[in-house]
Structures are given as structure tokens and as C-alpha cells.
Structure 1
Amino acid sequence: MTLNIAKGSSSHSAYNLRSGYAETVERHVLAVLVDNEPGVLARVIGLFSGRGYNIESLTVAETDHQGHVSRITLVTSGTPQIIDQIEAQLGRIVQVREVHDLTMEGPAVERELALLKVAGTGEHRVEALRLADIFRAKVVDSTLQSFVFEITGTPEKVDAFADLMRPLGLQELARTGVAALSRGAAR
């Protein structure tokens, strides 16, 4: 006789057969403070590529010259279980001082800088300038055939501006990646 009990459906089981994690993929912003040494970034990237995790955005810069500390801000996606694994594995890298999941620690401020080259004449040129004004994008270079706009804001704002510029002649797009800090009192 076979029992038709769905896996993990009994609360009387001695074993917890249910996953404690949701199956939904979530976007997370991680701030990783590391020793500013050769090869540290390669180790962090290697952790992601070796396990098949994707990095959607990556910014790195030295934040403490005296202490030789750099901050890596990266955006990745995964189930809560995968994000926990990423944090744990990052924490095991010798040169990693701290790992913070800004998404889970509360409100955070995210910003990204982008440069967009838009070619256009006539009505397209006028429309590009009008949209740039609405999005508070600055013209940082101009020729008779094109503009280079600079825009700063959330990744969603940059995406929206780029989407509107595509039909107007968007030729090139360069993005810095997300820079983020948690809001409120210092840790």
C-alpha cells in the first residue's frame, strides 16, 4: 500500500521536509568591505562565477586610504537560500572584513551614474532635450549630430531614460553600476 502524502505536508513528521526558503528570486544589494590588496576582487568574482551566480552590477573603490579598505557594492539575484550562501561564502574569504546585505538591513539609498550618447537632428533633437530636462539629465557634450547626457538616479530611472532615448537615436550607453549606503544611524 502506498501513501499519497505530499512531501513535507505532515506536521507530525520527525523531519522537516519543507524548504525554509521561498522559491522566489529576489534582487539584493551587498556591500562588502575588503582589504585593498591585489587579487581580492578576482577572488570575489571567482566565487560568483565558480558557483554560477550572476552579478548584475559591480562597483569597487578604495574608501579608506589609511586602512587600505575597499568597498565592493554588488547587485545579485537569487532565492533567499542562495543569497545566504553567497553571504556565507564571501565571509570565508580571508581578505573580506564585513558583508552587509543592504536589502535586508533596512532602507538604503541606491544611485547610479550613466552617460548616454544620442544622435539626432530636428524634432528628435528637440524631444531628446525635452526628455533630458524632465529626467534632470545634464548635457555634458554636444555636437551638431549628437548629445552626451549624464544622468544620476536609481537604476530604474536610468532604465526609463534609456528606454525613451532609444527611438530618438540612442547610440551608446555607459553605466557605473549601483553605489548604495544604508539609511539612518551608523552601524
Structure 2
Amino acid sequence: MTVTTDAPPTLPTPADEARLWSLIEAAWAELGAEPSALRLALVERDPADDDDRDDDDDPSHAIDAWLDAFLTRLRRLTAELSGQELTDLDRVVERKLYDIDREDIHEVTDGSDDGFLYCRGFIVALGRAFYEAVRADPAMAVSDADCEEMCYFFAHLHNERFGSWPETGSGISRESFGNASGWSA
């Protein structure tokens, strides 16, 4: 059921955004040097060379082995957060996914509705540096990458802990193709 209100959309605060990126970095930092090096390699790579890489030399595939451990660390780091704090973080993730719901990024990542959403989850999960690199230059995105859990991570935690889905009040959808300004008519 959709509830329509005249209230203006609730936007993430800079403090909530900073908290999200800080938590993501802290979770990755707990995993040590190898995933940090892989994440850095993704940010610093020349995407024009991607076609010349084999799977063994592709940092986007190598980081996949670390995603479950990252999510476990992130879950632990957020164990004491209140329902409002989880809602605030979910609002930030929702906005980040929405902002990169763009045709030019989809052209690089490809994928179905869900596949594109999960790829955007991967982009957010890898942290601010990778997110900003992709946002500025869609060629930095990678094909066949996904982190489905990141897309609704804080919403699921809210539901598990408090028995309800958080109401972000944003008025937007994180689902693929929902950001009309990111797609040609």
C-alpha cells in the first residue's frame, strides 16, 4: 500500500552520509590489506584495459570473495544502532542507489532490473572512492558484479531487530529505472 502525503521528501543528512561511508570503510579495514588493495586497484585502474584482463587478474572478481566477510563485519558494527539510525542509513543507501540509477552506468554494467540494482549495490558496498569514481565516469563501473545484500542491508536489519520495514520518507525508489532523470525518454 502506498501512502501519499504532502510532506516534502526527507533527504539524507551530510552526517548520515558520512556515517555510512565511515561504517563501510571500517568494515573493510577489519579485513586487512588484501581487500583494501583490490578496492584501490578498482578505483585506480584504466577501464579501457578491462577487456584485456583475464578473470584471475580482474580485481572486481577477486573482491567477490570478500563481500560476505565485509557484510558480516558491517552487521557487527551496526549491532547497537537504533531503529532511527538504521532508517537514516537506509535512506542514504536508497539515495546513493537512486543517484547512480542511470542509463550511462547501465550501459557498462548491463543486467536486468534486479541485476542492475545488485550491481549498484556492489558499487555502494565498495565504498565512497569507488562510488564517486563510477558516478563521475561510468566506464569505471564493472560488468557482472553484484552485492544484492547491500541494496536493502539496513532495511533488513531494521526489520530483523524491530519487526518493521523502515519508512525513509524519501519519496524515491532504489529499484532500477526509477530515476527518470537518469534515463533518456
Q: Which has the higher strand share?
A: 1
Name the structure, 1 or 2, with higher relative contact order (CA <8 Å, separation 6+): 2
Q: Which has the higher helix share?
A: 2
- Output the TM-score relative to the length of structure 2: 0.23
